[in-house]
Amino acid sequence: MPRSTAQEYAREIGLLWGEAQEKFLAIGKYLRQAKAGLPHGDWERLVSHMLPFGRAVAHKLRVVAEAVEEKRLAEETLPRSYANAYELAALEGHELALAAKRQLVRPDVTRREIDAFKRELKLPADEAERASQRRAELLRRRKRLMEELAQIESELSREERGVAEINSSAEPFGLPEEAPEGQEMGMARPL
């Protein structure tokens, strides 16, 4: 089995990796059958104690197998990594269609490519959330300002009433008249 060139090693490793891909899909199919056919307690015991991997890996393998069986993903375009295959299988239908359109549904897709795609998908939702939060903040601010304006208008109205009362109470006493030209205030007029 020793090889002498990088190409020979790459070819042999590639064949084994392809077999591994077939195996994870077969494992996923068996897991789906087991979940459907075993009583709940037996299924829990199987994934918790009897397999060489945990519940999270079992879930991912089942989701990938389901996506292939439902024809959401084609076996020939399935990523070689079960983790990458799961990331695609977990996408919503329209998201998976967009990933396929962008040529991300292929055996050699990298996790980095999938993560970048998923971040891009999330951007509009994040922007919409930020816009919604900003709108709510502005509405709260407007409400506070409207309450403050109502309070200011109430105070201003009280002040205006107070000034009007002062002016009306000063009228009975009369305000001093202007002195006729050439006379000073307070001096009697000649007869």
Q: Count up the domains in the chain and report the number.
A: 2
In a domain, 67, yes or no: yes
- Here the tokens at position 57 are 């890996």
Cα-based torsion angle of the residue sequence 22, 26, 28, 34 in order, rounded to the nearest 10 degrees: -170
Q: Let me know if 31 is exposed, middle or buried by CB neighbors in 10 A (0-12, 13-18, 19+).
A: buried
121 against 84, higher pLDDT: 84
- Last residue in a domain, options 109, 140, 171: 109
In a domain, 103, yes or no: yes
Element (H, E) at 106: none
In a domain, 52, yes or no: yes
Within 10 angstroms of residue 107's Cβ, the number of other Cβ atoms is 15
Structural domain span for residue 31: 7-109
Q: SS3 for 10? A: helix
Same domain, 35 and 88: yes
31 against 184, higher pLDDT: 31
pLDDT value, residue 187: 52
In a domain, 183, yes or no: no
pTM over 0.75, yes/no: no
pLDDT value, residue 162: 86
Same domain, 104 and 19: yes
In a domain, 24, yes or no: yes
Which amino acid makes up residue 82? Answer: Y
